[in-house]
């Protein structure tokens, strides 16, 4: 089996997750500012230690504490650092609606990316889409995931082909 390197980046993931999070927050009547802010900063620790797969992470003692320390150190001199750390912890623990929605948006972005890979022939990504469905908590996120199953990733731009060339 060949190793496949997918082209998405942490920056791309965070941006799309923030856009999804804003959409879910509005549907769930939760402050979209807090959800978007959470998602813009939620993967900040990955800049220092990378994004460890769950299998690899079980061999790294104190990974969660390391992420908390990274978050604390990177945000301590930032304006609103305390607020950002609180949002990060709510995301990590899903301790409030903002954290729940942010985690759902994070998962959904991964499901959208998996859908793109699935359409490119990587059939194993279907399992990821199914498993994400089981992890979602908000009704809005569950509905978005269901809709994901009924569309193609290219649908969002296919209509451009129908525009007149002199448009």
**CA angle centred on 39, ends 33 and 43, rounded to 5°:** 150
pLDDT score of 167: 55
Q: Phi/psi at 15 (nearest 5 deg)?
A: -65, -50
29 — phi, psi (to 5°)?
60, 45
Residue 94 lies in a domain: yes
Residue 46, in any domain of the structure: yes
Whether 147 maps to a domain, the answer reads yes
Residue 68 belongs to what domain range? 10-157
Predicted pLDDT at 45: 77
Please report the pLDDT score of residue 127 as a whole number: 92
**What is the Cα–Cα distance from 52 to 56, expressed in whole angstroms?**
6
Please check whether residue 99 lies inside any domain of the structure.
yes
pLDDT attached to residue 19: 95
- CATH number of the domain within which 109 lies: 1.10.3210.10
Q: What is the mean pLDDT of each run of 10 residues along the chain (167 residues)?
A: 55 91 96 94 77 75 75 79 83 91 95 90 90 95 92 74 67
d(CA 118, CA 67): 31
Tokens of 48: 């220092």
Specify the number of domains making up the chain.
Answer: 1
Count CB atoms within 10 A of the CB of residue 10: 14
Evaluate if pTM is beyond 0.75: yes
The verdict on residue 167 lying in a domain is no
Q: What is the pLDDT of residue 1?
A: 34
Domain contains 19: yes
CB atoms within 10 A of CB 44: 17
């Amino acid at each position: 089996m060949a190793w496949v390197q997918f082209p998405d980046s942490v920056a791309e993931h965070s941006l799309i997750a923030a856009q999804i999070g804003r959409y879910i927050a509005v549907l769930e009547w939760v402050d979209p500012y807090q959800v978007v802010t959470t998602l813009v900063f939620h993967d900040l620790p990955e800049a220092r230690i990378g994004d460890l797969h769950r299998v690899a992470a079980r061999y790294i003692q104190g990974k969660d504490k390391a992420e908390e320390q990274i978050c604390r150190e990177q945000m301590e001199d930032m304006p609103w650092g305390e607020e950002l750390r609180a949002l990060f912890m709510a995301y990590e623990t899903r301790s409030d609606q903002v954290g729940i929605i942010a985690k759902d948006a994070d998962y959904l972005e991964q499901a959208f990316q998996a859908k793109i890979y699935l359409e490119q022939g990587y059939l194993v990504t279907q399992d990821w889409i199914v498993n994400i469905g089981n992890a979602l908590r908000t009704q809005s996120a569950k509905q978005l995931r269901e809709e994901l199953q009924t569309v193609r990733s290219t649908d969002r731009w296919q209509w451009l082909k129908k525009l007149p060339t002199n448009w």
